[in-house]
Amino acid sequence: ADPDPLQDFCVADLSASTSVNGFLCKSASKVSSDNFFFDGLSKEGNTSNIFGSTVTAANVLSFPGLNTLGSSINRVDFAIGGVNPPHSHPRSTETDLVISGQVLVGFVTTGNVYFSKVLTAGQIFVIPRGLVHFQKNVGPGKALIFTTFNSQLPGAAVVPLNLFASTPSIPNDVLTKTFQVGDDVVNSIKSKFGS
Ligand code: GLV
Ligand code: MN
């Protein structure tokens, strides 16, 4: 979903003080093979958090060689029972590939139709751009998936954090009216996310 490049590559200079739609290019004479290499997805992520999952991202911010290339990839590790909570990517379609374990992947359309599948190693599921989706480890052990994107920086709007952990907070009366619950429920949810 990113624009087409106007040159072979444009390794991002993340330290430049200005940028346009993306990042400025590092001078080509300073580009080496290492700029097209990233080792950050080789290690298991730490899943000791309330969701029991962790996303390790190879996007333009962690891997500047992706700048202008319209591509990125995440590694997502799951503890037993772990969930990657409902979220959406405003700039990208996502393809999920299971490496190990059994993972329930689901998304919901703008018409509130739910599509889902339990996947095992080697199987893939596609999440259309912008739609709310999640994954849950439904197997007996840990699980590992890789997720690929047609954007250098898909962005992730994580529904529970958007609604209950924003800075500043969404006013409680908006959330109580929206979800038809009392302040106690909203405060309890907010407290789970440390806000
Ligand atoms: C999974 O949904 C991811 O965004 O990496
Ligand atoms: Mn996603």
- Residue 165 CA to ligand 2 center (angstroms) comes to 19
What would the DSSP string read from start to end of the chain? -PPPPSSS---B-TT-S--SSS-PBPPGGG--GGGG---TTSS-----STTSEEEEEESTTT-GGGTTS--EEEEEEE-TT-EEEEEE-TT--EEEEEEES-EEEEEE-TT--EEEEEE-TT-EEEE-TT-EEEEEE-SSS-EEEEEEESSS----EEHHHHHHS-SSPPPHHHHHHHHT--HHHHHHHHHHTT-
Protein residues within 5 Å, CB atom, of ion ligand 2: 94
pLDDT, position 194: 72
The predicted-structure confidence for 138-150, as pLDDT tens digits, reads as follows: 999 999 999 999 9
Specify the pLDDT at position 195. Answer: 56
How close is the Cα of 133 to the center of ligand 2, in Å?
A: 6
Domains of the chain, CATH where assigned: 28-155 (2.60.120.10), 165-195 (no CATH)
Asked if residue 169 has pLDDT above 80, the reply is yes
Per residue in 113-138, pLDDT (tens digit) is: 999 999 999 999 999 999 999 999 99
Indicate whether this complex's ipTM tops 0.90: yes
Per residue in 16-51, pLDDT tens? 888 888 899 999 999 999 999 999 999 999 999 999
